Amino acid sequence: MVGAHGKAQTVTMMDKRKAMETEMDAIIARLTGPGGPGLQGNLVDAQVCSLSLVGSKHCGF
């Protein structure tokens, strides 16, 4: 039998897992959306500028 502490830990871990899966789904949707590189494409350009930085002051584009 699992004690209350064990159940609480399990519920916390399940909540974290759900949050991670939700974040992964959002990332996948962004990558596979129109104009995205897909799941097989490069996540950085030839100048090694992360696609998420394009247009920002951290990237020269």
Confidence of residue 61 (pLDDT cuts 50, 70, 90): very low
Q: pLDDT at residue 13 above 80?
A: yes
When pLDDT is averaged across residues 9-16 and rounded to a whole number, the result is 95
What CA–CA distances, in Å, run from 11 to 1, 3, 19, 22, 38?
A: 16, 12, 12, 16, 33
Q: What is the DSSP letter of 60?
A: -
Comparing C-alpha atoms, which of 28, 29, 57, 61 is closest to residue 44? 61
pLDDT digits (tens, 9 = 90+) for 21-51: 999 999 889 888 898 778 876 666 666 665 5
